[in-house]
Amino acid sequence: MPRYFVFLRAINVGRHNLIRMDELRDLCMGVGFEGVSTYIQSGNIVLHSNDAEDVVARRLEATLEEHGLRNAAAIVRIGAELSELLDAWSAMDAPSSRKPFVTLFRSPVPPESVMALTHPGLAQLAVREREALSVMKPGYEGPLDVGFLEKKLKIPGTTRYLAVVKDFAEFGRSGPIGPR
């Protein structure tokens, strides 16, 4: 049974879409997902399902909406995709002094849209098929709307620090999967 890594957008941000991780695990298991584990409070889930990636995303989003959470997009990856992303990052000559971000999209970024991915506070380092890697520009002091990429592209996605993605990938690969 495939193991999926799910990144939820808009979970436990401010006072909106609040859900405890044990409650999230129970919801996931209640709709038939198996081996469900959550990682930190931002809605990172590892689960098993025989369904295809897009079916997992739609079923999870419907479940969250029925539970009263809104606009909680589910971005789903398999472990090999996360490994490829992390390998691509480590192969780059990225500035180590700035925190890198990764925006994970549900569907591919149209090649003609790559030039539109600009923000005064972020330097785009790479855009892959369904991810954008970026870092803060030196000296940038303004607000950072990490959701700007998905808004510009109109593609569901979510942004995480690259370190969180690395830790989550390791968490999902290590040991037996079950409630944590």
Reported as a single tens digit per residue, the pLDDT across 110-125 is 888 877 777 778 877 7
Domain-embedded: residue 91: yes
101, two tokens: 């971000």
If asked whether residues 87 and 71 sit together in one domain, one would say: no
Q: pTM of the full predicted structure?
A: 0.88
Determine which of 38-47, 83-92, 144-153 has the lowest per-residue pLDDT on average. Answer: 144-153
Specify the residue for token string 């990856």.
77
Q: How far, in Å, CA of 35 to CA of 3, rounded?
A: 9
If asked whether residues 88 and 30 sit together in one domain, one would say: no
Q: How far, in Å, CA of 106 to CA of 51, rounded?
A: 16
If asked whether residues 11 and 21 sit together in one domain, one would say: yes
If asked whether residues 49 and 9 sit together in one domain, one would say: yes
How do residues 101-110 score in pLDDT, each as one tens digit? 888 999 998 8
Residue 180 has pLDDT above 50, yes or no: no
- CATH number of the domain enclosing 19: 3.30.70.1280
Please tell me the total count of domains within the chain.
2
Give the residue-averaged pLDDT of 120-146. 80
If asked whether residues 27 and 11 sit together in one domain, one would say: yes
pLDDT above 70 coverage of the chain, percent: 91
Main-chain phi, psi angles of 150, to 5 degrees: -70, -35
If asked whether residues 71 and 19 sit together in one domain, one would say: yes
Give the residue-averaged pLDDT of 84-88. 88
Please tell me the predicted confidence (pLDDT) of residue 97. 62
If asked whether residues 98 and 123 sit together in one domain, one would say: yes
Q: What is the CA radius of gyration of the chain?
A: 16
Q: Which domain holds residue 11?
A: 3-78+169-173
If asked whether residues 66 and 112 sit together in one domain, one would say: no
